[in-house]
């Protein structure tokens, strides 16, 4: 998978490549999908969620420009696979999932695969994890028309946020740098993610 699908498509960060080779992707998908776990495609994991294709995981991880010891917030735990890749890069990972069953499954799988240090939270990821902010990096794995303001607020100065932005027709991965009171950003690649669902009621 790493050599044929990821390295050949331009991913060159050795830390990301090692992490992708280390994490056993087949353990993060349903048994019915295990035979396709290393194919370059997204796979359904139930409850309307998917595990992203390996290249997209690698591309978005590389875009974060990770360094060991950084604090990373992931919005949308899903299967837990992306969180495991982030942890395998040597970062401290905090991941939020709004679907309770996915949250429980991810906790179990991360524990069984040696990534039990990933900190998980059940809740609305669009609100981030304010008690643990600020974060050096934020990765969003669901698409929204705009990056939620709460996530930008929780990004540390000089931090990087990577997220798919758009609607059902067009989504683009954007990389944002926080520079004091300002934000610099660039567009990376077109993607297709499930939508980011935000609660409408005030937080309690």
Say if 199 falls within a structural domain: no
Say if 124 falls within a structural domain: yes
Q: Which of 16, 142, 34, 2 is nearest to 78 (CA)?
A: 142
Q: Is the C-alpha dihedral spanning 137, 20, 30, 192 positive or negative?
A: positive
Say if 59 falls within a structural domain: yes
**Is 152 within 8 Å of 176 (Cβ atoms)?**
yes
Q: Is the C-alpha dihedral spanning 157, 158, 161, 167 positive or negative?
A: positive
Per the residue annotation, which of 52, 79, 92, 95 is the catalytic one? 52
Give the pLDDT of residue 204: 29
Give the pLDDT of residue 181: 86
Give, as one character, the DSSP assignment of residue 1: -
Kindly report, residue by residue over 180-200, the tens digit of the pLDDT.
Answer: 889 999 999 999 999 998 765
Q: With bands split at pLDDT 50, 70 and 90, how would you rate the model's confidence at 168?
A: confident
Q: Which of 62, 1, 70 is nearest to 29 (CA)?
A: 1
Residue 78 sits in a domain of what CATH number?
3.40.50.150
Kindly report, residue by residue over 9-65, the tens digit of the pLDDT.
Answer: 999 999 999 999 999 999 999 999 999 999 999 999 999 999 999 999 999 999 999
What phi and psi, each to the nearest 5 degrees, are found at residue 15?
A: -65, -45
52 has catalytic annotation:
yes
Say if 172 falls within a structural domain: yes
Say if 203 falls within a structural domain: no
Say if 197 falls within a structural domain: no
Which structure tokens are listed for 202? 């005030």
Give the pLDDT of residue 5: 94
Kindly report, residue by residue over 60-105, the tens digit of the pLDDT.
Answer: 999 999 999 999 999 999 999 999 999 999 999 999 999 999 999 9
Say if 34 falls within a structural domain: yes
| pLDDT at residue 201 tops 50 | no
| pLDDT at residue 114 tops 60 | yes
pTM score: 0.95
Q: With bands split at pLDDT 50, 70 and 90, how would you rate the model's confidence at 169?
A: confident
Domain count, the chain: 1
Give the pLDDT of residue 97: 98
Say if 204 falls within a structural domain: no
- Residue 78 lies in domain: 2-191
Contacts of 102 (CB under 8 A, 6+ apart): 45, 46, 47, 49, 77, 78, 79
């Amino acid at each position: 998978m790493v050599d044929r699908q990821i390295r050949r498509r331009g991913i060159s960060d050795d830390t990301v490549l090692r992490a992708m080779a280390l994490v056993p992707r087949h353990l993060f998908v349903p048994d019915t999908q295990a035979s396709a776990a290393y194919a370059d495609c997204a796979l359904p994991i139930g409850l309307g969620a998917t595990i992203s294709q390996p290249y997209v995981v690698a591309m978005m991880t590389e875009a974060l420009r990770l360094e060991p010891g950084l604090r990373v917030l992931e919005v949308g735990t899903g299967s837990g696979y992306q969180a495991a890749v982030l942890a395998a890069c040597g970062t401290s990972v905090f991941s939020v999932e709004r679907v309770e069953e996915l949250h429980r499954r991810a906790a179990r799988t991360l524990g069984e695969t040696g990534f039990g240090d990933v900190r998980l939270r059940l809740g609305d990821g669009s609100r981030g994890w304010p008690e643990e902010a600020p974060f050096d990096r934020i990765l969003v794995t669901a698409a929204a028309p705009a990056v939620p303001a709460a996530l930008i607020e929780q990004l540390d100065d000089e931090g990087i946020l990577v997220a798919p932005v758009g609607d059902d027709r067009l989504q683009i991965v954007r990389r944002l740098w926080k520079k004091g009171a300002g934000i610099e950003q660039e567009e990376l690649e077109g993607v297709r993610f499930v939508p980011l669902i935000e609660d409408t009621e005030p937080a309690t």
